[in-house]
Structure 1
């Protein structure tokens, strides 16, 4: 059987790239996510981690999950609570309801794994925690750079004070992934569930897309938009290309956004 860590990396490559190209992440890296929007985004993360860490705690004696159970080093719930109060104020818990559709779907996916085949929680643990230890560190720097945050404030979610060397920890985590002993079917299901976890993350991002409407495009995005418009004009003789939805989809594709048409 192939090594699980390698299969997870390869199997999620495409959807991982899709998540990185999402509108929310693109604007995050440009510093155009407002503190208010980010504060609401943290609510979504809190809902997800509350469900995930509850499930991992419930199955901590599962021999495969135990290999990847690091409640002290990795748990994000308390760190999120600190950041939630910083961005949203002391009444942040009032923002937990209503639960959004994307939040509900993500929570339901975690609960389904917990209730039917706990080994599939490995997928959600892998996507969330390794993401926080990797790309999350870059997001932390962007958040601090563009929001001029006070020292040590607003970025607790991205900090792992009990892990001395993040790269070494990630390597050890991957080694433990390769020690997981499941049958071939479950092995493949873990990879598939990891792909779905990325999709759930993208769905969370897209719930904030409407808040990014009207923000200025970068030079690269403007050029892509103009190129798409020129291409459509050049083929305007074809009736199929005259359909407004086709034009919108072409432009959205060119700038890396998804059309709702």
Structure 2
């Protein structure tokens, strides 16, 4: 079998790129994500990480989970609590409910892995933590730059204080992934689960799309909008032509002069 870390990288390329093209990420990179929206986005992250980290703790005796379990270095729940209070105030826990559909689907996916095949948690750890140590560092700089945050405030989620060499840690993490001992079917399931994890992230992003206005649509979004508008126009045209048909004109005239019931 190919190395698991290689299959994870290659197998998620397409859906990873799709996530990076999402409207939410575009707004983030252009500094057009308001603090209010970001504060609510942190709630989504809190649900995901608190669920994932409880699942990893529950399965920490699993030999394969032990290989990639670094609670001191990687756990994000406490850091998220700091950021949630910064952006949402001391009563931020009141905002944790109701859980949105995308949040719940993400939670359910992690809990399913935890209870049925813990090795699949490797996929979620790979997507989340390596992403935080890579692209997440760029997002932190954007967040600070565009919101003029006080020094060290609002970006605890992106700070890994116990990891001095992030690139070195990521390389070690990938090597640990390659030491995971599973059969070929489970190997492939881990790769598939990582793809699903990216899709879950996209679904979370899309829950904010109705609040994101101002950016031009992507080519794919514009094509979808044009198609929808064309379909709606065709329906209206068809309805108009139907109403102008001779039989319908007579019926409408009869209704108008009271010779025929409209029911």
Q: What interval of TM-score do these two structures reach, taking the shorter chain for normalisation?
A: 0.7 to 0.9
Distance 1:45 1:34 in 2: 17
Are residue 5 (structure 1) and residue 26 (structure 2) matched? Answer: no
* Aligned counterpart, 2:245: none
Are residue 101 (structure 1) and residue 89 (structure 2) matched? Answer: no
Q: Structure 2, unaligned stretches of length 5 or more?
A: 235-263
Q: Structure 1, unaligned stretches of length 5 or more?
A: 233-239, 247-261
Return the offset for 1:216. 4.4
After TM superposition, the runs of 4+ consecutive aligned structure 1 residues lying more than 4 A away are none
Are residue 74 (structure 1) and residue 62 (structure 2) matched? Answer: no
SS in 1 for 2:65: helix
The structure with the largest alpha-carbon Rg is 2
Are residue 48 (structure 1) and residue 36 (structure 2) matched? Answer: no
Check whether the contact 2:27–2:215 (CA below 8 A) recurs between aligned residues: no
Return the offset for 1:243. 2.8
* Aligned counterpart, 2:159: 159
* Aligned counterpart, 2:60: 60
Within 5 Å, which residues of 2 pair with 1:1-261? 1-213=1-213, 215-217=214-216, 242-244=230-232
Change (3 A) 1:216 1:21: closer
Distance 2:196 2:108 in 1: 12
Return the offset for 1:43. 0.2
SS in 1 for 2:25: helix
**TM-score, normalising length from structure 2?**
0.84
SS in 1 for 2:68: coil
Change (3 A) 1:245 1:93: farther
Distance 1:206 1:241 in 2: 21
Partner deviation per Cα, 1:171-225 (whole Å, 9 max, x = no partner): 0000001000100000000000000000000000000001103x243xxx69x69
SS in 2 for 1:243: helix
Return the offset for 1:123. 0.4
